[in-house]
Amino acid sequence: MWVSGLELWQWRNIAQKAAIAAKVSIAEVDWLLQELAGLDRLALRLESFKHLAKIELQLPLKELELLWQQRLNQRLPVQYIAAVAHWRHFKVAVSPAVLIPRPETEYLIDLAVAAKNSDRNLEQGHWADLGTGSGVIALGLADALPRGMIHAVDYSLEASAIAQINAQKLGFTDRIKFYQGSWWEPLASLKGQVSGMVANPPYIPSSLVPQLQPEVAHEPLLALDGGLDGLDCIRHLIETSPTYLRPGGIWLIEMMAGQAQTVTQLLQNQGNYCNIQIHTDLAGIERFALAYRCQA
């Protein structure tokens, strides 16, 4: 769909005023135009694009306006409008079938790399990304562990389809295998062989889900609701993972603020985990739990 630079400039001005009135960041308007119209920051800042005879827009201007009204009135996340998100150095496809990847989740990959660097045996072999969603963790692992095979599992067929699209676009289809199913169940053939498991499971208590930001209401409930105390899925992963991890393999998850003490206790009580660690995110919140499968 082609539009004139003047038309797009006029829409931008109107959209920015509407954003201010709705208390939405006006920076989102330019982010959309970068993603959907291929405009760069300098052209947007100088407004030089308004002199262009035509600009290719990925959707009709009227449709963009309708989606922008959904952003303002229904708090539809801007990433769902553009159908893309940025995570680490990847640009990935997203839709309401998957969580929008958060910057803090990137640290899971850094922790996996640090563990690998301290034990070269972790560098190769099988790694599992359980609850892969858009596939970003699997992509990050495949990028950071070039000698490893990544197994990405999700219960949602729609999410798995998006993850596979992202792997194909980024050239990782030979390094990531995808499965539809619940947590470890599709990986029964890998019992005792997995070097590392990484997951960003649902961890929000059910009672808190309705209190989340209105943008989050557009994201899949299945990926958010962790049960009464938010730990249902984490408990399951703690109990089942020792069967699949090889001795010395790592267990690594993201969790909610305030859950670290309970997660640590659950890992200790299970009896098969050693060197249990809690790591903070950039805001100082205890966000990640890492443990090793005890040596036999």
Write out pLDDT tens, residues 197-236: 999 999 999 999 999 999 999 999 999 999 999 999 999 9
At residue 283, the 3 state secondary structure works out as coil
- Amino acid, single-letter form, for residue 150: I
Query: Once rounded to an integer, what is the mean pLDDT over residues 256-263?
Result: 96
Cβ atoms of 51 and 3 closer than 8 Å? no
Residue closest to 138 by CA, chosen among 158, 167, 99: 167
Per-residue pLDDT band at 296 (split at 50, 70, 90):
low
Q: Decide if pLDDT at 117 tops 90.
A: no
Maximum C-alpha span of the chain: 70
Length of the chain: 296
Average the pLDDT over each of 3-7, 241-245, 277-281 and give the range with the smallest value. Answer: 3-7
Average pLDDT over residues 113-120: 85
Residue 11 structure tokens: 């829409």
**Token couple for 258:** 């305030």
Computed over every residue of the chain, the mean pLDDT equals: 94
For residue 64, the model assigns a pLDDT of 93
Report the alpha-carbon distance of residue 151 to residue 63 in Å, rounded. 37
Alpha carbon of residue 97 to chain centroid: 12
Whole-model pTM: value is 0.92
| pLDDT exceeds 90 at position 91 | yes
Closest CA to 78 of 96, 58, 61: 96
Interatomic CA distance for residues 205 and 259, integer angstroms: 11
pLDDT above 90 (res 81): yes
Q: Is the pLDDT of residue 119 over 90?
A: no
How far apart are the C-alpha atoms of 135 and 154, rounded to whole Å? 9
Residue 9, SS3 per DSSP: helix
User: Does pLDDT of 181 surpass 70?
Assistant: yes
Q: Mark out the alpha helices in the chain (DSSP H runs).
A: 5-22, 27-37, 41-46, 61-73, 78-82, 106-118, 136-144, 157-169, 232-244, 260-270
Is 250's pLDDT higher than 90?
yes
Tens digit of each residue's pLDDT (9 = 90 or more) over 131-148:
999 999 999 999 999 999
What is the Cα–Cα distance from 251 to 236, expressed in whole angstroms? 13
Residue 152: strand pairing partners: 129, 178
Q: Residue 191: is its pLDDT beyond 90?
A: yes
Side chain identity at residue 249, one-letter code? G
Q: Which CATH architecture has domain 103-293?
A: 3-Layer(aba) Sandwich (3.40)
List the Cα angle 278/279/283 in 5-degree steps.
135
Q: What backbone phi and psi angles, to 5 degrees, belong to 32?
A: -65, -40
